[in-house]
A and B are shown apart, each in its own frame.
Chain A
Amino acid sequence: MLQKPRSRGRSSAQAEKDRDGSRDKDARAPRGGVADEAPSTSRGPGGSQEALGTSSQGARRAQAAPTVGPRTQKQLELKVAELVQFLLIKDQRKIPIKRTDILKHVIGDYKDIFPDLLKLASERLQYVFGYKLVELEPKSNTYILINTLEPVEEDAEVRGDQGTPTTGLLMIVLGLIFMKGNTIKETEVWDFLRRLGVYPTKKHLIFGDPKKLITEDFVRQRYLEYRRIPHTDPVDYEFQWGPRTNLETSKMKVLKFVAKVHNQDPKDWPAQYCEALADEEKRARPESSGPAPSS
């Protein structure tokens, strides 16, 4: 939301006066507008999202109490709402969310109850949206959202973005990596992709810049790990699955994809099939079923 030009949190008294003044002029209630009680949360000045400031859309109340002390039910509710929105927006861009960012941009003075807020937000995300909040790797203090609803092919027809790349370039690369023993050299990747008309140096009709996608975007989104192989000349890199891939899909799913592409059965690759089975068993065991957000 844009910030109102005059009222920053500091001069909330003045801001209140302005708001009340304008409200009287607008005696006919706006259709579908928020009732008078739209609250705002307290926010320190430190956030980088200063563009929004602390002004609210119609709050009559000044900022909430700055430090410790009892907080109202409404304040807590709003804080959880903010946290939920923050997590959704960050995850939509597939950026793993750092705990430090959460504390800085959302939690602020509510730091003392951060674990509770996170737990509540996590519950709402699950119940309302079907997303599960998980830690990318144990003790990493970064989080992503996992979709508990299975993506369906027809979703692609009704969505407004490209969604998680369940088919397409990423899946192909993930498949390549797995079939080649969980690690593959970059040169091998391009050797393969060239056969599909995808080149590192040429713009692609659907994928745009494949090199950037594979070596930067997918890596940043943690679907892939991209490491330099030492002592190679010319320099070569290797790819492995990133932590997000293990959370969002599985060896068995990727194997099934590869099999489907070849019009064969997953069992036609016995080594990979065994590996995938072992992975499935590991996932089924309760300890490995995704850690809850740790405090």
Chain B
Amino acid sequence: MQGSTRKMGIMTDVHRRFLQLLMTHGVLEEQDVKRLQKHCYQVHDRNATVEKLEDFINNINSVLESLYIEIKKGVTEDDGRPIYALVNLATTSVSKMATDFAENELDLFRKALELIIDSETGFASSTNILNLVDQLKGKKMRKKEAEQVLQKFAQNKWLIEKEGEFTLHGRAILEMEQYIRETYPDSVKICNICHSLLIQGQSCETCGIKMHLPCVAKYFQSNSEPRCPHCNDYWPHEIPEVFDPEKEREAGISKSNRKSLRSRQH
């Protein structure tokens, strides 16, 4: 594990409530994480200053280290939103996904994962996934049932569905990046900028390097003549918009007032 250079932090009820509630989400966007943090301070330590989120989380992670889990921060591949999830650092016999799904369902996920990784776009069509239903381990599954299982994966934020095609949710990438890189070392794609696992992104048509959409946005920010960082050829794709936390906050204030009235059910 990371060396003992990290001083072990202290848990208080603020941190405990935060952890408990964070665990009820598979994955959570940063602004909701901040809301959650603020809520926990309100309940237990009203007058204290809310610690900077990064430090707050680092503190908790230093305690979680001995349990081989951590609160990991990532970024959504399609629009660059920061997200957080509690992930396993060691493969043990216990994992969230394995305890929620049956053997054949896990195998279906594995098949979908392979198709997604092998694809050019990072998306696998529902049809292609369902065609593999006969090859699944465990109890026999019909296509109709498999369709519902795929929906279950989407609801639980392991997959994202877009127009009949499936890709990996940020949650799955956070949880499984290490596993994916080791299991599929030949077909896995890596972002040229951040060097992390890449499922969705843009590629240079000349030399083939790939970049995440948020990485593209940041790298080519206010650059009128974007060029491939590797081969210097003209970058042929539209540069996407960067996720801006400031703009989101203003929009978010009115959004969260409405959100808290809706019941949060999954």
Which residues of chain A have a CB within 8 Å of any CB of chain B? 1-2, 4-5, 19, 21-23, 25-26, 28-35, 37-41, 43, 47, 49-52, 54-58, 77-78, 80-82, 84-86, 88-90, 92, 105-106, 124, 127-131, 147, 149, 152, 154-163, 206
Contact = CB atoms under 8 A, between A and B. Distances in A.
Which bucket holds chain B's interface residue count? Answer: 35 or more
Interface stretch (B117-125, B179-187, B235-243): B179-187
Interface in B196-212: 196-197
B52 interface: no
B153 interface: no
B1 A149 contact: no
Contacts of B266: 160-161
B36 interface: yes
Interface in B93-149: 93-99, 103, 106-107, 109-110, 113
B178 A2 contact: no
A128 B20 CA distance: 10
B151 interface: no
A129 B43 contact: no
Contact of B179 (A2, A78, A152): A2
Chain A interface SS verdict (over half): loop
B252 interface: no
A160 B28 contact: yes
Given A147-B20, A161-B266, A30 B91 contact: no
Nearest to B259: A157
B185 A130 contact: no
Contacts of A22: 181-182, 185
Given A2-B179, A57-B90, A160 B95 contact: no
B57 interface: no
B19 A129 contact: yes
Nearest to A21: B185
B89 interface: yes
Contacts of A88: 23
Contacts of B222: none
Closest 3 CB pairs of A and B: A160-B25, A130-B16, A22-B185
A84 B67 contact: yes
B139 to A, nearest CB: 13
Interface in B46-82: 63-64, 66-69, 72-74
A149 B42 CA distance: 14
Given A84-B67, A149-B13, A5 B183 contact: yes
B91 to A, nearest CB: 5
A128 B72 contact: no
A33 B253 CA distance: 34
Contact of A47 (B16, B63, B93): B93
B194 interface: yes
B218 interface: no
B52 to A, nearest CB: 19
Contacts of B74: 32
B154 interface: no
A55 B98 CA distance: 14
A34 B178 contact: yes
A135 B180 CA distance: 39
A149 B95 contact: no
B65 to A, nearest CB: 10
B93 A41 contact: yes
Contacts of A89: 94, 96, 99
B20 A1 contact: no
Nearest to A89: B99
B92 interface: yes
B16 A28 contact: no
Contacts of A2: 97-98, 106, 109-110, 113, 176, 179, 183
